[in-house]
C-alpha cells in the first residue's frame, strides 16, 4: 500500500476491514464451545457482511472524489497512518488472527479492540467521501458501537 491514497481507496480499505471482520467472527463462531459466544460471533459475522455491501455501494460513488484539505495530501496521509495501525486492513488477516485465539475471553478482548479501531477509521473515512454518503458511514459507526455493547455484554457473561 502506498503512502497516500485516493478517497475510493480508503473506502476499499473499509471493505477489507469488514471482510476480515467477517472471517474473524466466522472462525470464532466455529471454534467456540460456549453457545452464547458462538451465537454472538455468528451474528457479528452477518453484520460485517451487511457492512461490506454498504461500503461497496459507497465505493461506486466515490471514484475521483477528493476531500477538502489544508494542503495537498494532508488528509490522505492521516488515513494512511490510521490504516497502517489497523491489522484488519491486511488481506486475509481476520481468519489467521482468529485461528491463533485460544479462549473466548481472548477472542472478545481482541474483537473489542478491532471494533474500536474500526470506529476510529470510519470516523476519519467520513471526510473522504462526499457529504451525501457520510450519513451511511454514520449509520455503520452506530452499528459498530452496538457491536461494542454486544461484545461487552458477552465478556461480562463469560
Residue range 103-151, pLDDT digits in tens = 999 999 999 999 998 898 888 888 777 777 788 888 889 988 999 999 9
Q: What is the CATH number for 144?
A: 1.20.1260.10
User: By residue range, what is the domain housing residue 106?
Assistant: 7-157
* 2 belongs to a structural domain: no
Closest CA to 144 of 62, 48, 77: 48
Domains in the chain, number = 1
* 1 belongs to a structural domain: no
pTM: 0.81
Count the helix, strand and coil residues of the chain and give each as a percent rounded to the nearest 5.
Answer: 80, 0, 20
* 83 belongs to a structural domain: yes
Residue range 20-74, pLDDT digits in tens = 999 999 999 999 999 999 999 999 999 999 999 988 888 777 666 666 667 666 7
Phi and psi (nearest 5°) for 104?
-65, -35
Q: Which of the residue ranges 2-6, 90-94, 115-119, 144-148 would you say has the lowest mean pLDDT?
A: 2-6
Amino acid at each position: 500500500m502506498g503512502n497516500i491514497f485516493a478517497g475510493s481507496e480508503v473506502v476499499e480499505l473499509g471493505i477489507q476491514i469488514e471482510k476480515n471482520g467477517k472471517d474473524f467472527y466466522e472462525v470464532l463462531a466455529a471454534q467456540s464451545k460456549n453457545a452464547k459466544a458462538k451465537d454472538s460471533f455468528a451474528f457479528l459475522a452477518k453484520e460485517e457482511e451487511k457492512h461490506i455491501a454498504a461500503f461497496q455501494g459507497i465505493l461506486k460513488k466515490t471514484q475521483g472524489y477528493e476531500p477538502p484539505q489544508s494542503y495537498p495530501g494532508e488528509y490522505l496521509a492521516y488515513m494512511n497512518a490510521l490504516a497502517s495501525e489497523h491489522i484488519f486492513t491486511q488481506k486475509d488477516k481476520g481468519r489467521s488472527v482468529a485461528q491463533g485465539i485460544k479462549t473466548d475471553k481472548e477472542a472478545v478482548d481482541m474483537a473489542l479492540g478491532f471494533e474500536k479501531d474500526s470506529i476510529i477509521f470510519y470516523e476519519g473515512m467520513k471526510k473522504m467521501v462526499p457529504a451525501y454518503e457520510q450519513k451511511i458511514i454514520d449509520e455503520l459507526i452506530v452499528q459498530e458501537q452496538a457491536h461494542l455493547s454486544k461484545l461487552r455484554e458477552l465478556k461480562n457473561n463469560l
